[in-house]
Amino acid sequence: MRNHKINCSNCGSDRAERHYIPDLELVRSQCPACDYLLVTCAATGKVIESYAPGIAAVHAR
């Protein structure tokens, strides 16, 4: 598993991390400052799981 420090796309904190998990073909981005979480498929880019406090959900029609 590889890790990179990134800026959080939710709150802008420089404490966020991106974890590449090749065995599962996942990319997990998380931020301890605002509790942001985003898990995507490394192959397709599709969202597997997400949680972003303070961002309102958009309802698909």
pTM over 0.95: no
SS3 annotation, 6-55: ECCCCCCCCCEEEEEEHHHCEEEEEECCCCEEEEEECCCCCEEEEECCCC
Calpha distance 52→38 (Å, rounded): 8
Domain boundaries, the chain: 2-51
Q: Which amino acid is at 42?
A: A
Residue with tokens 């065995």: 23
Give the pLDDT confidence score for residue 54 in this predicted structure. Answer: 73
Q: Which amino acid is at 56?
A: A
Average pLDDT, the chain: 91
Give the pLDDT confidence score for residue 57 in this predicted structure. Answer: 61
pLDDT digits (tens, 9 = 90+) for 5-33: 999 999 999 999 999 999 999 999 999 99
